[in-house]
Amino acid sequence: MKTARLRLRPVVNGDAARIAVLAGDWEVASMTGRIPYPYSEEEAQYWISGVAASEKVFGIEFRGELIGICGFTLDEDGSAELGYWIGREYWGEGFATEAAREVMRYGFAKGGVRRFICKHLTGNPASERVIRKLGFKYIGGATGWCEARQCELPALSYERRRPWTMKLRALAT
């Protein structure tokens, strides 16, 4: 998939070293649920090889270089949890919003997603801005596991339902 500036493509074994460097940064890992700290190339390789069938994971490339990951995990009821991270040197450029918007478009149109859910740890205003720009609505307080910190932390939860116009287009085809 392509956006104005990005290419989203499957994650491959050769990405492990780059993922370990970018996601292994404390500033990145400490705001995610599943990334340990420190994060080794071997751990990244293990993660790549263990992506489940219910997960759609995309590497985010900018100018031919991997800069982050975006994807979702689909439940049987059509709900999907959206997740993303961007390497610190690429923060503040709108890449997370651009990539997540395309992944959501794909999920709604082709991935069987009826509703996306997303959450961020409190104290992560950048992720909150991304979520709001994507049209998510706040649904309540929550907690979230942070692998890097090895604890549950306060979080905020959001949802975005598939636009009704997509249902009409799907019926018309």
Q: Say what the pLDDT of residue 157 is.
A: 98
Residues of the chain with pLDDT under 50: 168-173
Q: Say what the pLDDT of residue 165 is.
A: 59
Please report, in angstroms and rounded to a whole number, the separation of the first and last CA atoms in the chain: 22
User: What is the pTM for the complete model shown?
Assistant: 0.92
Q: Say what the pLDDT of residue 164 is.
A: 75
Please tell me the CATH code under which domain 6-172 is placed: 3.40.630.30
Burial annotation 112-130 (CB, 10 A radius, 16+ → b, else e): ebbebbbbbbeebeebbeb
CA-nearest of 78, 98, 89, 83 to 8 is 98
Q: Say what the pLDDT of residue 66 is.
A: 98
Q: What residues pair up with 2 in beta bridges, in sequence order? A: 7
Q: Say what the pLDDT of residue 173 is.
A: 41
Domain boundaries, the chain: 6-172
- pLDDT per residue over 34-50, tens digit each? 999 999 999 999 999 99
Q: Say what the pLDDT of residue 166 is.
A: 55
What is the H or E stretch that residue 29 is in? helix 26-29
